[in-house]
Structure 1
């Protein structure tokens, strides 16, 4: 018999739209062999049907002994929810970040603002939306800036905003979708960690169509239904930006995440689960085989 403690997760790709709801139960099964912890199986069960799915998490940390109750079997089960996972992962990654800011990049509608707010709260960081930052500085909306002064004028002020934000530690910055097109912006964003939220075009178009394209100056065409306008516009923009997005330090692919979670639609992935995956990918980037940071930052 062995005594064990609740583990600290070192790698994570898990989640479900049902985790954290009162009618659901999330269980962790920690399997052990003679050398200590082997893996972690997460089972999501929903009452009253008790249908479940399981996901595997790598847990390389060794099993620690404590005064916890002894187990007669080799498995330990503990319940948790999305918030618990997020808090745990944030605590792990914070020690690696050392105050470095996080810059989220991706197409409009990819969830940068929503996920960014969740990340900032979990890490104890400040959240900044670069578009709102420019709007406050200019005293008008992005849409009006595009209409009255043009895209180039907006991009100039966007670059100024990113330059200022690059000097500020402990921030999560949701950048505009086109911020990646100017090489100088990468110089600023690389003062922190850049993460690309990769969302399929169909999902992006559905999200934008649901709220309309009026506030999206690059998608505001004269004719066509909202979904068609959004999809065609996004397709064109993606061809121009895809190589630039690939420059990000880390990428979170919602399509891959949905596949791993056995979800049919990426829209079923909650923002909290995406935030957890962002932290996991950041940690993966920052840590080499020896556990040290891959590059040096000024903070």
Structure 2
């Protein structure tokens, strides 16, 4: 696993980054607040990929916010829409995709995720709490004890996140550009060219 001890890292060359995944999609998984959207945008730019956020796509498709979907239709309905969105995205190539924190819960979703490279952005619970404290847009955190809720969610999902191809531990103070560099470095180090999925 990768862990941050210094913020100095030699970036891969532009040519290496551009051809690193050979067009295969990159899926970022991890807890809410892990920085998947921020890191995903940076990675998309460096890989010359298009960027998508599944939560944003769900909101566009449903015509309402994630919070409204949870409140009006429940989590089960949200998860079904999430699976539909993931299915559509998996039909394309050269995408960097930030996924929702619970996307790993549905077994069917893994059939789509495994068409690409899956990266787990692993952030300490305490750092997640500091980032999310007071956030009213996260329906699963609207509880008297959001820190305990985060811990419970991580316990439920940790073994599923661990199925990712690459796990990157993130120090809360690490700059997003540095995290993106580490993601690319870990992919290059851990996933050999012959192991990479082929685009559809």
Same fold, TM exceeding 0.5? yes
Q: Note the C-alpha offset of 1:285.
A: 3.0
Greater strand share, 1 or 2? 1
Contact 1:91 1:123 (8 Å CA) reproduced: no
- Indicate the SS of the match to 1:97: coil
Q: Are 1:116 and 2:40 counterparts? A: yes
Consecutive unaligned residues of structure 1, counting only runs of 5 or more, are: 1-12, 17-41, 43-81, 224-228, 255-265
| Regions of 4+ moved over 4 Å | none
Q: Output the CA distance in 1 between the equivalents of 2:158 and 2:108.
A: 17
Q: Note the C-alpha offset of 1:296.
A: 4.0
Q: How many residues align?
A: 197
Q: Deviations over 1:209-240 (max 9, x none)?
A: 1xx2311101101x4xxxxx331110010111
Structure 2 match to 1:154: 78
- Indicate the SS of the match to 1:267: coil
- Indicate the SS of the match to 1:268: coil
| C-alpha spacing 1:141/1:282, structure 2 compared with 1 (3 Å) | same
Q: Output the CA distance in 2 between the equivalents of 1:89 and 1:127.
A: 21
Structure 1 match to 2:156: 240
Q: Note the C-alpha offset of 1:94.
A: 3.0
Q: Note the C-alpha offset of 1:143.
A: 0.3
Structure 1 match to 2:20: 96
Structure 2 match to 1:253: 169
Higher relative contact order, structure no. (Cα contacts within 8 Å, ≥ 6 residues apart): 2
Q: Note the C-alpha offset of 1:167.
A: 1.0
Contact 1:90 1:279 (8 Å CA) reproduced: no
Q: Note the C-alpha offset of 1:281.
A: 1.2
- Indicate the SS of the match to 1:194: strand
Task: Select the residue among 113, 122, 129 that pairs with 1:189.
Answer: 113
| C-alpha spacing 1:149/1:189, structure 2 compared with 1 (3 Å) | same
CA RMSD of aligned residues (A): 1.7
- Which has more radius of gyration? 1
Q: Note the C-alpha offset of 1:286.
A: 2.4
Q: Output the CA distance in 1 between the equivalents of 2:5 and 2:13.
A: 12
- Indicate the SS of the match to 1:252: strand
Matches within 5 A, 1:132-211: 132-209=56-133
Structure 2 match to 1:21: none
Greater helix share, 1 or 2? 2
Task: Select the residue among 216, 221, 226 that pairs with 2:138.
Answer: 216
Contact 1:14 1:273 (8 Å CA) reproduced: no
Q: Output the CA distance in 1 between the equivalents of 2:158 and 2:147.
A: 15
